[in-house]
Amino acid sequence: MSEAQTQIQQALDENDVVLFMKGTKEMPQCGFSSRVAGVLNYMGVAYRDVNVLADEAVRQGIKDFSDWPTIPQLYVKGEFIGGCDIVTEMTLSGELDQLFDQKDIDYNKEAADKIRQANA
């Protein structure tokens, strides 16, 4: 296992929710990363952000790790959930709420409902 793969696995082992993204949750550096971080931030989810722009080995490593070609990538309890489009669809359908409930992840249900209302 490469050093990048070890770093990725360690982040997943140590955090219930991890977002591999371009930039940080406070300062996303691409629109797709911004959208997913915005959803998680608005819903009050505690998560670890990993800035793939800070380390090229991690940037490529996460793509190999998940066999998914794009960033951002959301993981919940070590399980790869998806990228921006999938997280957006899951948020709007309520599936993300169900996933957080099943995995015992704290989030603000009212905020999740507001996102859906604003996009109805």
Which residue ranges are tagged as binding site for [2Fe-2S] cluster?
Answer: 30
Beta strands in 16-120 (DSSP E): 17-21, 48-51, 73-76, 79-82
Which residue matches tokens 């704290």? 106
Q: Which residues are annotated as a binding site?
A: 30
Q: Is the peptide bond before 72 cis (omega within 30 degrees of 0)?
A: yes
7 Cβ contact list (under 8 Å, min separation 6): 55, 58, 61
User: What three-state secondary structure class fits 83?
Assistant: coil
